[in-house]
Amino acid sequence: MSIKQVINAFTITVLLVSISVGGERENLETPLINSAELLTPDDLFEMALKYNPDHQIFIQNASLSGANLRSAWGTLMPSLDVNFQLSRSEYYNPSYVEANGSVAAYPITEQGYAMTIDTLANGHIVVGFDPNSPTAITYGVPQGKSSASYGWANLRETINLGGQQYYTIKNAGLQNDMNELQVAASKQGLQYSVKQNYYTVLAQKKLFDLTLKVLQQKQEQLHLAQARYEVGSVTELDVLQAEIDVGNQENAVIEAENSLKLAREELNRVLGIDLNSEYSLAEEFSIFNPDFDLVTLSAQAVTARPDFLVYQKQEIYSNNSVKINRGEFLPDLSASFSHTRSQNSGKDMDFTLNPRNKNTSLSLTLSWNLFSGFADEANYQGSRVALRNAQFDRKKQEQLIDQEVRQAYYNLVQTYEQSRVTEKNRELASRQLALERERYRLGASSQLNLRIAQITFEQAEVDYISSIFNFWSNLAALERAVGSKLN
């Protein structure tokens, strides 16, 4: 294969590679989910793991861990540099400068003598000129081409005698672990967000159903007021007030419907699916006595919370960084091997891929930076401070997690205890409203008492709905604080 063919093949290869590794753009999927099947929080969580963009960012960032770890191991491997150079030069000089400074041009003709070659008796050959044979000598335009080939390979290995490479590898492994823990923390945070929005949607749906039920009750009360007005047992004021109550409740229905729609779309956004997605949610949630042991929960949190484990890894990472900076006070050992090939192909000669001139060298170097303007000392002291800060951060986070577990547990117990009261109030308010409606129908009670009973009923229903889903929201918060699912 000629040199020109080699260069052309190399150029085509570079172009093809640059095209294949050019800007890649993947079309991200935002699916539209339409399902009549009842979905649980776990079902939606699996969906969110696949489509939530924030969680996918953590996964993508963690995918670099392998490359970074290989790069750290690469510090122990020798570096290899290769170079091969082909050069060609051409010259054409039709003019020159005379001794007097004037410019002359080729070709030129000069008077000379014919060359003679004689062989002596001893066999020696004598070259000379015959002064009796003058001749004209013509010099053409100086021109020509020359080619040169040059290549070299250099293999170099450097070992930090202070152990910097060893601790760099350990830190790369720790960074890999921390990236995986960040993904796990994102997973837990996503599960909590899915559950919170799941319960919000169910609560808004219950509240919307309640507004429809109350609207029907107030419409019945309007009909009752109109019937009593027709027989003259009440004034027109009762009818007008009942009509106002119906109108206000119709507005409440519109508002509750809009709140439900917004809650659904927020849940879809967290899942990473199309906001217009429609699906049914499982609604079988009962309240139970959360008889968890608080001490056990706190101890479990510091072993299961991935975000806390990151702080522990960071402390070890900082300790290794101290050792890396301390190692800068020790020397480095380097070894190198170099091989060079070169050849000037001469006039009007083509390139060569196998130059004849060779040069090989081997070296071993011990280098020790004894003074660098106190920069190494500053870096070492800075890494020690960073280690202490990492220890303080870990301690602070441990206290924050303990506090978070306690607050979540206290809130859960509070909602459980309040739920028993709200459930009883709900039953009493429903009975009170039924009695007041009957008394109003019989003319034994006023519309004011009926409206008070209606308001009490609505508030009791709202409190009951809130207590149920606050309980499950607080349970999700406790699970997030502990770092694992609670049975």
Reported for 318-323, long-range contacts at CB under 8 A and 24+ positions apart, including other chains, are 318/383, 318/386, 318/387, 318/389, 318/390, 319/387, 320/167, 320/170, 320/171, 320/174, 321/167, 321/171, 321/383, 321/386, 321/387, 322/380, 322/383, 322/384, 322/387, 323/163, 323/167
pLDDT, one tens digit per residue, over 334-387 is 999 999 988 776 665 666 677 788 899 999 989 888 887 888 889 999 999 999
Helix axes 447-482, 375-442, angle to 10 degrees: 150
pLDDT at 133 exceeding the cut of 80: no
pLDDT at 112 exceeding the cut of 90: no
State residue 285 phi and psi, 5-degree precision: -130, 120
Cβ atoms 58, 181 nearer than 8 A: no
pLDDT at 331 exceeding the cut of 70: yes
The model carries a pTM of: 0.76
CATH no., domain 32-82+161-335+370-482: 1.20.1600.10
Tell me the C-alpha distance between 43 and 207, whole Å: 24
Residue 242 neighbours by CB under 8 Å, 6+ apart:
218, 221, 222, 224, 225, 226, 447
Q: What local confidence, expressed as pLDDT, does residue 18 receive?
A: 52
pLDDT, one tens digit per residue, over 241-250 is 999 999 999 9
Q: What local confidence, expressed as pLDDT, does residue 120 receive?
A: 80
Mean pLDDT of 386-409: 96
